[in-house]
Amino acid sequence: MPVGTVASVKGVPQEIVEELGAQIILGNTYHLYLRPGVETVRKMGGLHGFMSWHRAILTDSGGFQVFSLSELRKLTEEGVTFRSHLDGSSHFFSPESAMEAQIGLGADIIMAFDECTEYPAHQSRLRESMELTARWAARSKKYFEDYKHEVPWNTASGKNLVGTAAIGCAGERQLATAAELRSAGQPKAAVPTGSEATQSLFGIIQGGMDRALRKESAERTIEIGFPGYAIGGLSVGEPREVTREIVESTLEHLPKERPRYLMGVGTPEEIIEYANLGIDMMDCVLPTRAARHGLLFTSEGKVSIKQARYAQDPGPLDPKCACRVCQRYSRAYLRHLYASNEVLAQVLNTIHNLSFYLDTMRRVRHSISLGEEYRFLSGVWSRPAP
Ligand SMILES: [Zn+2]
């Protein structure tokens, strides 16, 4: 999932993100809550209408950003008080208010409010934090069940406001699916009708780098019951072997028939590795953030386009990449744009990196569809792809 923190995949317009084949993008609740504010987005028909993105959207709960970006936090059982990184104003997030914000933003998939435990942390702190996340998950679900019908693409006022911008948004997609199923002779109750269509609330597994706590967190979260499960609290500074070990052991406790989402990961090699372990969804700012710093992922490894060695290089950034940047521009030109601090450098670099990531995931999906014999590991096929 490309990350569109403030309802924008930085530097790239929605039509190009679509062209690159992204099926879903991520928005950050913390940022959107502070600016432009949930009410503004809700009145525009939710994020789909506001940013004119007709495919799926996932919003995080705001928890991770509150703990990583804001200042002067005060954590209680009830929730967390924090100061905005924009203007220092004071705000309060609880499981209930985080759900209220995410229902108003109207993404297709929303996340339970959790506490992302710092790394490293003592065992007693890890347990307390995991238990708090479990209690907050139950409160998140309760609030969601009580108020899920208020999602903007599902209310009369929302429908009037969004107009044509909402074509293809979640509610309408589900209507189409229902119609398709009915014509195929499936029972009408198989999928929700438009007025019943709601968001999907996913639970988040915490427990730090402790396998037993992760298992307990998984069991408690599954007991509450969610349509999908995320593994949170990783990629917070721990060694990569530890991340892998925790992902692998936590996956054993999560139902295979539900989407399993690893939050905040990773490099191209890592997303291949985790997808092969059984992870279905990942998000990371790396392709977009690295692009803005001139770091590009290619089939030949990482390229730092700022280096003088590319100043007169007429070749494409990645000879194996079919993206519009690699088809048209030279390394020399990309290097010049970066050195001149041109806005276009960020745009073109981001388009290529997103293309490389999405292409990587397409190869992974293809390899999974081919079965056990074909595996796309570390960017290389175990047997030549047919
Ligand atoms: Zn490219």
The tokens describing 100, both together, are 């209220």
Alpha carbons 201 and 109: distance in angstroms, whole number = 6
DSSP letter assigned to residue 233: S
**Residue 182's pLDDT is what?**
40
Amino acid 170: pLDDT: 45
If one counts every other C-beta atom within 10 angstroms of the C-beta of residue 253, the result is 17
pLDDT at 197: 85
Q: What is the pLDDT of residue 189?
A: 37
pLDDT tens-digit profile of 157-213?
445 444 333 334 444 444 334 344 344 443 333 344 455 789 999 999 999 999 999
Cβ proximity of 208 and 119 under 8 Å: yes
Question: Ligand 1 centre from 325 Cα, in Å?
Answer: 5
Residues 118-131 have pLDDT tens digits of: 899 999 999 999 99
Residues 6+ apart with CB under 8 A from 223: none
Active-site amino acid positions: 60, 283
Q: Taking a C-beta distance cutoff of 8 angstroms, is the pair 245, 210 a contact?
A: no
For residue 176, report the distance from its CA to the centre of ligand 1, in Å: 34
User: What's the CA-to-centroid distance between 213 and ligand 1, angstroms?
Assistant: 42
List, in sequence order, every beta strand (DSSP E) within the chain.
24-27, 56-59, 71-75, 80-83, 90-93, 109-111, 200-205, 229-231, 260-262, 281-282, 295-298, 301-304, 376-377, 380-381
Global pTM?
A: 0.90
pLDDT of residue 179: 42
At 205 the three-state DSSP class reads: strand
383 pLDDT more than 70: yes
